[in-house]
Amino acid sequence: MANQNGGELNPFKIAQKQLDKAAAVLGLDPAIHAFLREPLRELHVTLPVKMDDGSTKIFKGFRVQYNDARGPTKGGIRFHSQETIDTVRALAAWMTWKCAVVDIPLGGGKGGVVCNPKEMSPGELERLSRAYIRQVGRILGLEKDVPAPDVYTTPQIMAWMADEYAFLKGHNEFGVITGKPLELGGSQGRGDATARGGMITIREAAKVLGIDTQGATMAIQGFGNAGQYAATLGIELLGLKIVAVSDSKGGIYNPDGLDPDDVIKHKRETGSVINYPGAKPVSNEEILELPVDILAPSALENQITARNADRIRPKIVSELANGPTTLEGDDAFYKNGVYVLPDFLCNAGGVTVSYFEMVQNAYDYYWDLPTVHERLDIKMTTAYHAVHETAQRFEIDMRTAAYVIAVDRVATAVRLRGWV
């Protein structure tokens, strides 16, 4: 699928073309390149769920295990009305590269259910969550594939899934699902891990680029979990000034700065950031084009395309969402000197702390919050500098540099195992 300006919008085709760029830089063996362009395996499931009104509704679900050469696959489960298998394939591919770029011993997977969780009661969501695990549980396991929360899935949903898996197996196996509540083997620091990892990469990029983050302006498109934490942590850790945020209903802008805690309270009370007092309304498209130092796309994929990329001119784009920038958007950013922190580096804090959760579950000993933060900082800082140095060495953009590192690590594992 392409937009009217000829830009590719199918997320899986975008992921494949991103891989192709890195393969060209690496001079990758053609057979390994072809192997890495496709998922190893995928499962499509049909889920009948009894609704509160007594009717039965049929849902479609997916689980894709993209590549497990470096370890068990790992990746979130999305509940979204627009979910497609190609989106799940792309996200599973990006998870493969994400785990490799931060050098954790996992492969990439992803899952999804086509549904609108906003229209479902807690009871209906629980029955759907359990139905998904009943069908997909056969390919999950600590040594196989470990799911986690993603768009519109929560620690409570992970708890239901972990319980259903335990029922299927006949014993507790908490490490098979991450992003769980603390009381069921969750990790300290998991809630804000995606945003915290993003802030660490912004901090390191700002040092390299000579940007003072104190008072630097930031706009956040998407004010869910990652976006809200990005706003509060941006102020707490970096001294940023948050001037604009948006959610699915629209956005708000105040060049003098917003109080994120107050905006979060407003959203909790009204269901959206719109109509926040003392701020000007902006659309989700307009928020991307505001004159800010740092832009954090934190919503869904394909937000920055050939249509609007030339008008988006922050110093840093920090991709907390997966796949927010198309190939044409990337080309425009590189040409215009916009420094991109690519999604599978920038938002890798979530999977890194999920990996920490697996480790803690495995030996039944849990770390305190400062330990989690310290270990996350080391992982993210090391990964950022490896990507930046690779971009400089090959004179390529940051996304291609991140791919070069990740693809090389996965290709090496594939070669050593004798698969290709």
Residues belonging to the active site:
110
Residue 302's region, left for phi above 0, alpha for psi from -120 to 50, else beta, is left
d(CA 171, CA 169): 6
CA-based nearest residue to 411, from 150, 13, 76, 29: 29
CA-based nearest residue to 174, from 188, 189, 185, 182: 185
Helix (H, G, I), strand (E, B) or coil at 396: coil
Beta bridge partners, 48, equal: 58
d(CA 89, CA 95): 10
CA-based nearest residue to 199, from 411, 404, 381, 393: 381
d(CA 411, CA 294): 34
Which residue type sits at 14?
I
CA 53 to chain centre: 35
The 8-class DSSP code of residue 209 comes to H
Helix (H, G, I), strand (E, B) or coil at 96: helix
In terms of residues, how long is the chain? 420
CB-neighbour burial class of residue 393 (10 A; exposed 0-12, middle 13-18, buried 19+): exposed
The encoded tokens of residue 335 equal 């040409």
DSSP 153-204: --HHHHHHHHHHHHHHHTS--GGGS-S--GGGTPPTT-TTHHHHHHHHHHHH
Contact 328, 5 (CB under 8 A): yes
How many Cα atoms within 13 Å fall on the side-chain side of residue 354? 33
d(CA 168, CA 296): 40
The encoded tokens of residue 130 equal 């359990």
Which residue type sits at 9?
L
DSSP 98-119: HHHHTT-S-EEEEEEEE--GGG
